[in-house]
Amino acid sequence: MSLVSVNPATDAVIKEYQEMTAREVADAVDQAHASFSSWRKTGFEERATLMHSAARILRERTNEYAVLMAEEMGKPISQGRAETEKCAWVCDYYAEQAESFLESEIIETDAHKSFVAFRPLGVVLAVMPWNFPLWQVLRFAAPALMAGNVGVLKHASNVQGCALAIEDVFRQAGFPENVFRTLLIGSKQVDAVIEHPHVRAVTLTGSTPAGQAVAKKAGQVLKKTVLELGGSDPYVVLADADIEAAAKTCVTSRLINSGQSCINAKRFVVVASQRERFEQLFVEQRQAAKVGDPLQEETEVGPQARADLRDELHEQVERSLAKGARCLLGGSIPEGPGAFYPPTVLTDVKKGMPAFDEELFGPVAAIIVVPDDDDAIQVANDSNFGLGAAVFTADLERGERIATEELEAGCCFVNAFVKSDPRLPFGGIKQSGYGRELSHYGIREFVNIKTVYVGK
C-alpha cells in the first residue's frame, strides 16, 4: 500500500510513499531499542549539544519547512514559519532545562539515604496528527530524547514529507542513528507497534475516538499513555468585558491554522447585553480575513487539510442550521479546486446542535447567547471536552478566580487566547484526554519515577 500526500489547495498529488511492511516496522523498533542502550548512558551535556543543534537546523531551514507544511496540509506560510520557530524554541528549552527537571530529589526517611530518581523508559511511540505537523512531534520528541528515551513516530498519512523531515533534522543534528525513527505506516499497523515488546509507552495527539482506540490497546498490554485529544473550547464574554478587545482576540483564536486546532476558540458564550456589538465586530473582522493560497504571504486562512474533512465540517454546519442556528457569515462550499471553506459564523446555537456538542475542526464559530454571567460559566462547562477555555472581563481578580476555580479545562486563560508554551504544562480533562506535555510535568510523563532506599 502507499501513503498519498495531496496538496489541499490544488488537489494535486504531491508524492506517494510506500508503506512499510510489518517486518520493516518491527525491525525499526528493534533498532530504536538497540540505540537506547547507549543513548540512555549519555550525559545531559551531550544530549543538550545535539538538541541545540536541532534547533539551529530548524531555524536555518524555516522557510523550507513552512513551504512543506503549506503544500502538504494547507497551513498559511507565515504561520508555518512561526510553527518552525516554536519547534526550535522547545528544543532549546529542554536542552537548557532537562537536567534540572530530572535532578534526583532527596527524601528524608529513616534510611541512610533515600531519594527519587528519574530514569528513561525506552522506546516511546508517538501517534501524531497533521494539523501542526512539526510542533506536535517536537513537543514530544524534545523532552523524551533529553530524558534519555528514544522515539518512533507514526505521523498522519497526509504529512509523510514532514515526518521524514523531522527524522532528518535529528540525523543532521548528529543524534545517533535510530534514536528517532519515522515509521511510514497507516493507522491499521498502530496496534502491532503498541504490542511490540520494546515499546514502553505511547503518546497520541488526535481525535477522541483515536485516543480511545490507542488507550484500549495500550491498556491491554499495560503501557503508559498520554493523550491530547479534541476540544470545543469555550470563550466566555462577560457583561463587563472590553468588547472590542474580546472580539479581536476571539477572531484571532478561531482562525489560527485555518480553524484546525484542538485549542482554537470554538464556542463563544456571550452575555446577552454584549451580543449585538460582539456579533457586529466578530462578523466584520471575520469578513476581513484573507482566504487563499497558503503559499502567499497575505493569506490568513488556507484550505482545510483534506476535502473529506471540509465536507464533514460543512455537514455539521448544515445539521446545526436545520436545528435552528442562524448563519451570519459563510456557510457554503466555494466553487473551484481545493478543500477551502469560508470563515463562518453561526448564532443562536444551543445544546443538541453539532455546533454546541461536537468539535468543529475548521473556521466555523458558534455564538451562544446567555442571560447573565452565571449562566455563561454553566454553559461553558456543559461539554464533554475540557482542553482549553478563556474568560473576558474587566475585573482581572474575578477573571483569575473564574479561570482557577470555575472553568473545567486543563488550560484556562484570562483576556487572552489559549496557546501552548514550553514553560507551561499542556493537556486536558474529560474527553480531551489525560496526562501533560511541556514544562517539567511533560518530561516526567515518560520516565521511571524510581524510589532508591539505601539502608544503614
Name the residues annotated as catalytic: 228, 262
CA distance 421 to 423: 5
| Polymer length in residues for the chain | 456
CA distance 223 to 197: 10
Q: Which three cell numbers stand for residue 108?
A: 528524608
Give 336: exposed, middle or buried? Use CB within 10 Å, 0-12, 13-18, 19+: exposed
Residue of 221, 215, 232, 261 whose CA lies nearest to 353: 232
Backbone angles phi, psi at 227, to 5 degrees: -125, 125
CA distance 344 to 362: 9
How many CB atoms neighbour CB 297 within 10 A?
A: 10
Cβ distance 427 to 420 under 8 Å? no
CA distance 110 to 95: 36
Residue of 88, 225, 95 whose CA lies nearest to 166: 88
Q: Parallel, antiparallel, or unpaired for β 344-347 and 364-370?
A: parallel
Q: Which amino acid is at 50?
A: L
CA distance 364 to 259: 7
